Amino acid sequence: MLTSARQVLACPGSCKLLPPCSLRFKKPELASNICSSAVSCASTRGAHGMPEEEGPTGRVLSIVTGASRGLGRAIAHALMLHFHKESKPHDLLLLGSSPENAYKASAELSELALAHSVSARVVGHGMDLTNLDDLDDHITRMLTCADQPGGLLPRAGGPAAYSQVLLIHSAGQVGTLAPIWDQELHNIRRQIDLNVTSPAAITSRVLKEFMRCA
């Protein structure tokens, strides 16, 4: 089962939408609200919007883009705390434009999980969502088990090891704020690739892979 959130929240069913203007304020509270809404949606609806039964493992996988800093990082932290509170085993795949920051974020959450005896595996990975030439390879790695060459998926058994999957697109950028007649082609393409093309491509591949295991 998969829930997809796009910066604020966009998922099947009737979920509360949070105003974009609040993104710059109170990140912990906003992250907690997004986390709660996404989890609530994922708990009640499957990939086709129908109620779905709990899988055999009960393990949840969260894939968060833009997770190396800001709101994405706060959402990853909120997800970790939420599933620990619910006593649900949980794995996190944190994606960020900076490999160094993505690894740092995953190391911090791994330490948090260890300190609080949380059943979780956290993997960080750097990927540039504006580079469409490498995007397909990155997505393939995301959906390949870590015990395979180049694989990132934290749990052996691949997608079938999870009963719930949350895909949260927190990566995004406004770009150059200027009238359309002052926009350069490279800026237009960068914003479309980052904010539209890459999230759509990732969602498509993840849905296809996990629906196959449903």
- 15 pLDDT higher than 90: no
pTM listed for this prediction? 0.76
Residue 41's pLDDT is 53
List the domain boundaries for the chain: 2-212
Please indicate whether residue 125 or residue 36 has the higher confidence score (pLDDT). Answer: 125
Average pLDDT over residues 182-193: 90
Residue 54 has what pLDDT?
Answer: 45
Cα 147 from Cα 196, distance rounded (Å): 31
Is a pLDDT exceeding 70 seen at residue 36? no
- For the domain bounded by 2-212, which CATH number is listed? 3.40.50
Q: State how far the Cα of 175 lies from the Cα of 29, in Å rounded to an integer.
A: 26
Which of 24-33, 59-68, 178-187, 203-212 has the lowest average pLDDT? 24-33
Higher pLDDT, residue 193 or 146: 193
Q: What is the mean pLDDT of residues 158-175?
A: 87
4-8: average pLDDT: 37
Digit-coded pLDDT (tens) for 125-155: 999 999 999 999 999 999 888 888 888 888 7
Highest mean pLDDT among 5-14, 110-119, 177-186: 177-186
